[in-house]
Amino acid sequence: EPEVTQTPSHQVTQMGQEVILRCVPISNHLYFYWYRQILGQKVEFLVSFYNNEISEKSEIFDDQFSVERPDGSNFTLKIRSTKLEDSAMYFCASLGLAFYNEQFFGPGTRLTVL
């Protein structure tokens, strides 16, 4: 069964450093998303991406964040200068036309900013 994969599973970084979280969505899916979940809190939407451009972003997704689909398979989330409050689980999701609004989520990357 196809699945969304994410790497790394856990990333530890120093405050101020840049991090890139990587996702491989399900092939032939067209819509891509990043969400995050701070420990003990609910899952929050960050950004959606379609047709090689951002289709929607939340207030959380400020200038420190960027997304890219550098090739036909990867979808990345970059945080330019990490803050302590960026520590969270980051989930990638993708959606295909065959499934009515069912977003398939990856296992997540746990980001720890020290």
- Provide the binding-site residues for other proteins, judged by CB under 8 A: 31, 33, 35, 41-45, 48, 50, 56, 58, 89, 91, 93, 95, 100-108, 110
Look up residue 56 and give its amino acid: E
Query: Would you give the DSSP letter of residue 26?
Result: P
Least distance between other proteins and beta carbon 16 (Å):
26
End-to-end Cα spacing for the chain: 37
Among residues 46 and 79, whose Cβ is nearest to other proteins? 46
Least distance between other proteins and beta carbon 52 (Å):
15
Find, among 102, 77, 111, 106, the residue nearest to 92 by Cα: 106
